[in-house]
A and B are shown apart, each in its own frame.
Chain A
Amino acid sequence: MAAFLDLGWLVVLLPMLLAVVVALFGRVLGRFTPAVAILAPLWVLAYGVLSLVEGLHDAPRSGSVEWLTVGAADSLTVGWAVDGLTAVMLVVVGLVAALVVLFSVGYMHGENGLPRYFASLCLFTAAMSMLVVADGLVGLFIGWELVGACSYLLIGFWFTRPAAAKAAVKAFLTTRVGDVGLLLALALLWREVGDLSYAGLFAAAPSLAPATVTGASLLLLVGAIGKSAQFPLQIWLPDAMEGPTPVSALIHAATMVAAGVFLIARTWPLFSLSPDALAMTLAVGGLTAIGAAAAALVQTDIKKVLAYSTISQLGFMFAALGVGAWGAAVFHLVTHAAFKALLFLGSGSVIHGSGTQELEEMGGLFRKMPVTGVTWLIGAGALAGLPPLAGFFSKDEILHDVALAEPVWAILLFGASLMTAFYVARTTRLAFFDAYRGDGHPHEGGWSMRLPLIALATLAAAVGFAGAWLAETIGAHHGSLDLRVAAASTLLAVLGLLAGWKVAGAGHPGLKQPRLAALADLMRQGWGADRLVERVLLAPVASASQFLYRFVDRQAVDGIAEGTAPFARRVGRAFSSLQSGDAQWYATMLGAGAVALLAVVSYIGRGL
């Protein structure tokens, strides 16, 4: 087993190889394509599980190759290292990815371009593994950008749909705003430390100037905000729902969007040294948690509810990081991966069965799709924070830690919890209960779709109890259950569920008060962030670029260079009359010019 575990690089290389195989030979493999593709996440899962079984208490496993040397002294090494946090992440990535591949067999049946789809999933697995096993920021950054590229490819899977193409670009660009921050963090740390491996950075961190630490931490935070769709870079995630639903479950719920949380947890020895960065993280997380939860209240598309919910839940994790509870953040990352992947796959099953994403056209699906219905209820309960499901424990820990450190922000998070329960109940009732309002024939998917749901539901029910073990594995502090917080949050969850259930049952009479209706509209559109970006950022950039090209480039720069246009024409005419292909003439001209110059320069040159 040790020999197997020493092959850390293979968690990246093997999935990458499989991606190539699937892409090139997908047509030959035919219906066996998923069977080959699933080997990638299974390998990652096996590696993660065996690492945990082996135990990582003594020393993390690692290996590295010297990537390049620059200059006399510095060399950039890229390597891998597996400690508890990495192993846990590998398990999450491998498990969810494997279940998503399995689910896709049924969900994507009959689609065109399946080799491309499964190859992208393998590539994503490779990139995500790279992101988590890298032993320094360079390797992380490479994986970081590659998962973004895979996300682009998969959001744009149905590329003939303009909305999908647009959403893919939007996702890549918005997250790249964050990536610029991360890139600058690397540049800053390279200058100040001269080493980008975690070991080197953490060793140097205590002796760095506070301004450097704060600057680097804030830049890391910018990167995390982009990837994890936190305010103000949250706008891409709702649009990313244009991708196939299994992809949403994997990339836009369980793994890639959680990379921001992972980044901060990973660089904790550095990040935690900056009180300013922590305060900023708390503010970003708190605002995002409540803002996105509010937006989720009024969505009409089942996937949009889940998208805003994901943004909101990631906000909880950021808030936890902001008060120093990185263990709680990672705990919630793990439970969220289970129940949110479950809910996304559940919604996929619903979409597959009923042929619509609009909650308006669903209803009564519980009886028509019992497996989906029961598993959905487990996931919904976990998200709402009902004991003893997974989300209850991890959210409780976050609320407890935030309440101790920053009571005001804790109230905000309690508010977000209440809203969470509300939208969970509303969505559940609209989709699964009352009478069926659509005009299709909803049906349960095949076993390949049911099995992942059952597996994830089991996890969503059970992982909550693993909190202490997880904290020990990743080396973080684990607080015991705070009964007051637990009671309060459970009470809020029940209240929220009841209210949401009631509102969903009232049908859609429309909000009587015009102001309230306007507010609901605004919330449904994600607080109008898109329009703001369009007006404040995109439109000015577009006009600036037109101005630069048409006026500055063509008229000013080119105009000055050519002299006035008539002059240029004259020169042009003069030259074209000489343009007989007579190379000798050019040579003569060149020679004459050179001689003249020689004379001038030798005259000047003496003087200097």
Chain B
Amino acid sequence: MLPLLTTIVFLPLVGAAVTALLPRERADLPRLVALVVSLVDLALVLWLVVRFDVAGGLQFIERARWIPEANIQYFLGVDGISLPLLFLSALLLPIAILASWKVSERPGFYFTMILLLAVGMNGVFVALDFVLFYVFWELVLVPMYFLIGVWGGPRREYAAIKFFLYTLFGSVFMLVGILALYLHPAGGTFDMTVLASSTGLPASFQWWVFAAFFLGFAVKVPVFPFHTWLPDAHVEAPTAGSVLLAGILLKMGTYGFVRVSLPMLPEAAESWAWFVALLGVISILYGAAVAFAQTDLKKLVAYSSVSHMGFVMLGIAAGTPEGLNGAVAIMFAHGVITGMLFLLVGMVYERTHTRTIADVSGLSKQAPVAAGMLAFASFASLGLPGLAGFVGEFLSLVGAWRSELVAPGFVVAAAIGVLLAAAYMLWMVQRTVLGAPSSAVEGITDLNRLEIGILIPLVVITVVMGVYWSSILRYVDPAVTALLATMGAV
């Protein structure tokens, strides 16, 4: 039988090889190859989702010896927590490729990088051996570095290096954590499933290892005060880079907390919970407050991401079923909604050649479809019930309030973040969508069919998930329950 996960992960690698080898004069071929590969990949993931057994725990397992000397395996599998993220990754890939349809500068190189990125993104969510996990984790860095550094805005080199150094700094600590687990007698393996169910790591050891992993994941999320690379990277990155950065790369950090920190270091997770929650709440309020001050559309969305990811951290810190369900739900919803926002900002920028909020006004009058989509995405982002963003934020808040580990004051503070989100988003909508058209907006065309086609799937998912929460949580909840059972929390 076809090794489904391996195919899903490495098909983009084959595509990357093809695009890299294509003759330079056929400039229109790379994007076509990339699109076909991404669509086949998406189809395979959909097939996997259909065949996924909700109650089946870890499944589609592929396991082979890789480096027997160090007991390193090639070990893939997917459960209800990684499935939504794998789906998100496969969904955003063709969208990012279509959003890059007009890339004319070294298209072969560009689409090679995008496909290489996909290998890392898909791989991180299904790897169950720490060495493999680390390889995929680091693999993501390089193509993103080039996407920002070569195809980015005016300060692209600075932003690319900053992104690279920050994440490298984080992953070094993660590597320390991985090795510490391997070298400790009670650990002694790279097998993440074994580590997740093992007990007997002394609490003081756990405490230090948690700290190491925390640095690695927190930079990626990013949590305050490790977030300042994010606005720079987003502003300089091309649209597709921003979509994948916000949609997938940030989730790698929070996924790490759920996949690694909680199950492998449960006692430390408990003693660190207040700190994780504190940074989460600070991120929520701080990201929202700073988003207010932004004059650049992309920076506003970037800081809003810091705020939304704070809700994920709060849900994780809570360690309750609601909190963890909420955390995964936000990860997914944020990927979809922020993807929409970055796509729209890119589409507006292409027409107006500005991202300055003050220069873009009256979109409704001139480009009603673009304006309507932007308003829709904004309402989804501010957590309007009935749309996807609300599900996770609601669960994260009620889960945190129910948790023994999080002080109620944190929840009240976080709830104020809900209000701030409405404020900065609607103020942005007021200045860009409403009002009379500004000179930059005067005369621009509305979205074309391709652009609408890119956005429609995201709109549909936002509505479906928002109206019927179980559409995603039926996968997540059993996995969360299993996770909490191994932690001994339930």
* A173 and B469 form a contact (CB under 8 A): no
Against A, the Cβ 8 Å flags (1 = close, 0 = not) of B453-490 are 00000000000000011100110010011001000001
A-B pairs with the 8 shortest C-beta distances? A71-B321, A605-B183, A549-B293, A545-B292, A165-B434, A142-B385, A187-B401, A558-B228
CA–CA, A550 to B364, complex, Å? 31
CB of B481, distance to nearest CB on chain A (Å): 6
Contact stretch, chosen from A314-322, A379-387, A397-405, A571-579: A571-579
Residues of chain B within 8 A of A558, CB atoms compared: 228
* A68 and B142 form a contact (CB under 8 A): no
CA–CA, A557 to B321, complex, Å? 34
CA–CA, A67 to B386, complex, Å? 13
B58 within 8 A of A: no
Q: Which residue of B226, B397, B398, B477 is within 8 Å of A69 (Cβ)?
A: B477
* B426 and A172 form a contact (CB under 8 A): yes
Q: Which residue of A160, A187, A550 is within 8 Å of B365 (Cβ)?
A: A160
User: Given contacts A579-B157, A593-B172, A597-B172, are A72 and B490 in contact (CB under 8 A)?
Assistant: yes
Q: Which residue of A180, A579, A606 is within 8 Å of B183 (Cβ)?
A: A606
A259 within 8 A of B: no
Against B, the Cβ 8 Å flags (1 = close, 0 = not) of A521-561 are 00000000000000000000110111011100110011011
Residues B417-434 near A (CB distance < 8 A)? 418-419, 422-423, 426-427, 429-430, 433-434
* B157 and A548 form a contact (CB under 8 A): no
B52 within 8 A of A: no
Residues A134-184 near B (CB distance < 8 A)? 141-142, 144-146, 149, 152, 156, 159-160, 162, 164-166, 168-169, 172-173, 176-177, 179-180, 183-184
Residues of chain B within 8 A of A209, CB atoms compared: none
Please name 20 pairs of A and B residues whose Cβ atoms are closer than 8 Å in the assembled complex, sorted by A. A71-B322, A71-B484, A72-B490, A144-B385, A146-B384, A149-B379, A156-B434, A159-B435, A160-B365, A165-B435, A184-B412, A187-B411, A544-B289, A545-B289, A549-B293, A549-B294, A572-B161, A586-B142, A597-B179, A606-B183
* B179 and A601 form a contact (CB under 8 A): yes
B146 within 8 A of A: yes
User: Given contacts A72-B490, A187-B401, A553-B228, are A583 and B149 in contact (CB under 8 A)?
Assistant: no
Residues of chain A within 8 A of B149, CB atoms compared: 579
User: Given contacts A169-B426, A605-B184, are A183 and B415 in contact (CB under 8 A)?
Assistant: yes
Q: Which residues of A contact B (CB under 8 A)?
A: 66-72, 74, 76, 141-142, 144-146, 149, 152, 156, 159-160, 162, 164-166, 168-169, 172-173, 176-177, 179-180, 183-184, 186-188, 190-191, 541-542, 544-546, 548-550, 553-554, 557-558, 560-562, 571-572, 575-576, 579, 581, 583, 586, 590, 593-594, 597-598, 600-602, 604-606, 608
Chain A: which residue is nearest B288 at the CB level?
A545
* B157 and A190 form a contact (CB under 8 A): no
Residues of chain B within 8 A of A598, CB atoms compared: 179
Residues of chain B within 8 A of A70, CB atoms compared: 321-322, 325, 395, 473, 477
CA–CA, A141 to B415, complex, Å? 15
Against A, the Cβ 8 Å flags (1 = close, 0 = not) of B387-409 are 00010001101101110000000
CB of A468, distance to nearest CB on chain B (Å): 37
Chain A: which residue is nearest B473 at the CB level?
A68
Residues of chain B within 8 A of A606, CB atoms compared: 183
In the complex, the number of residue pairs spanning A and B with C-beta atoms less than 8 Å apart equals 190
User: Given contacts A159-B364, A545-B289, are A180 and B161 in contact (CB under 8 A)?
Assistant: no
Interface residues of B: mostly helix, strand, loop or mixed? helix
* B416 and A180 form a contact (CB under 8 A): yes
Q: Which residue of A166, A172, A177, A548 is within 8 Å of B290 (Cβ)?
A: A548
B17 within 8 A of A: no
CA–CA, A594 to B469, complex, Å? 43
Residues of chain A within 8 A of B412, CB atoms compared: 184
User: Given contacts A146-B384, A601-B183, are A191 and B398 in contact (CB under 8 A)?
Assistant: yes
B254 within 8 A of A: no
* B401 and A191 form a contact (CB under 8 A): yes
CA–CA, A51 to B364, complex, Å? 42
CA–CA, A164 to B364, complex, Å? 14
Residues of chain B within 8 A of A146, CB atoms compared: 384-386
Chain A: which residue is nearest B295 at the CB level?
A549
CA–CA, A183 to B184, complex, Å? 45
CA–CA, A542 to B146, complex, Å? 37
CA–CA, A597 to B146, complex, Å? 26
CB of A208, distance to nearest CB on chain B (Å): 15
Chain B: which residue is nearest A596 at the CB level?
B172
Q: Which residue of A187, A562, A605 is within 8 Å of B397 (Cβ)?
A: A187
B310 within 8 A of A: no
Chain A: which residue is nearest B299 at the CB level?
A549
User: Given contacts A72-B490, A601-B180, are A180 and B415 in contact (CB under 8 A)?
Assistant: yes
Residues of chain B within 8 A of A601, CB atoms compared: 176, 179-180, 183
User: Given contacts A159-B435, A601-B176, are A546 and B430 in contact (CB under 8 A)?
Assistant: no
CB of A226, distance to nearest CB on chain B (Å): 10
Chain A: which residue is nearest B204 at the CB level?
A608
CA–CA, A548 to B267, complex, Å? 35
CA–CA, A278 to B48, complex, Å? 55
User: Given contacts A68-B477, A145-B385, are A590 and B138 in contact (CB under 8 A)?
Assistant: yes
CB of B116, distance to nearest CB on chain A (Å): 10
CA–CA, A579 to B386, complex, Å? 47
Residues of chain B within 8 A of A545, CB atoms compared: 289-293
* B386 and A548 form a contact (CB under 8 A): no
CB of A111, distance to nearest CB on chain B (Å): 14
CA–CA, A544 to B291, complex, Å? 12
CA–CA, A74 to B402, complex, Å? 12
CA–CA, A448 to B37, complex, Å? 58
B47 within 8 A of A: no
Residues of chain B within 8 A of A605, CB atoms compared: 179-180, 183-184
Residues of chain A within 8 A of B390, CB atoms compared: 142, 145
Chain B: which residue is nearest A538 at the CB level?
B423
User: Given contacts A160-B434, A608-B208, are A173 and B422 in contact (CB under 8 A)?
Assistant: yes
User: Given contacts A545-B290, A598-B179, are A68 and B474 in contact (CB under 8 A)?
Assistant: yes
CB of A198, distance to nearest CB on chain B (Å): 17
Q: Which residue of B158, B379, B398, B419 is within 8 Å of A173 (Cβ)?
A: B419
Q: A149-B384, A160-B365, A176-B419 are in contact. List 8 more A-B contacts (CB 8 A).
A: A67-B468, A70-B325, A72-B321, A149-B379, A159-B433, A165-B430, A190-B398, A605-B184
* B418 and A608 form a contact (CB under 8 A): no
User: Given contacts A548-B293, A572-B158, are A594 and B175 in contact (CB under 8 A)?
Assistant: yes
User: Given contacts A553-B228, A602-B179, A608-B208, are A183 and B427 in contact (CB under 8 A)?
Assistant: no
* B179 and A67 form a contact (CB under 8 A): no
Residues of chain B within 8 A of A608, CB atoms compared: 180, 184, 202, 204-205, 208
Residues of chain B within 8 A of A164, CB atoms compared: 434
B286 within 8 A of A: yes
Residues of chain B within 8 A of A561, CB atoms compared: 166, 225-226, 228
B320 within 8 A of A: yes
* A190 and B402 form a contact (CB under 8 A): yes
CA–CA, A588 to B12, complex, Å? 24
B339 within 8 A of A: no
* A548 and B286 form a contact (CB under 8 A): yes
CA–CA, A561 to B401, complex, Å? 33
CA–CA, A152 to B290, complex, Å? 24
Q: Kindly name the residue among A71, A162, A180, A544 whose own CB sees the greatest number of chain B CB atoms within 10 A.
A: A71
* A184 and B175 form a contact (CB under 8 A): no
Q: Which residue of B184, B474, B477 is within 8 Å of A71 (Cβ)?
A: B477
Residues of chain A within 8 A of B477, CB atoms compared: 68-71
* B481 and A72 form a contact (CB under 8 A): yes
Against A, the Cβ 8 Å flags (1 = close, 0 = not) of B39-52 are 00000000000000
CA–CA, A69 to B172, complex, Å? 39
Residues B332-385 near A (CB distance < 8 A)? 362, 364-365, 379, 384-385
* B157 and A67 form a contact (CB under 8 A): no
* A597 and B176 form a contact (CB under 8 A): yes
Residues of chain A within 8 A of B385, CB atoms compared: 141-142, 144-146
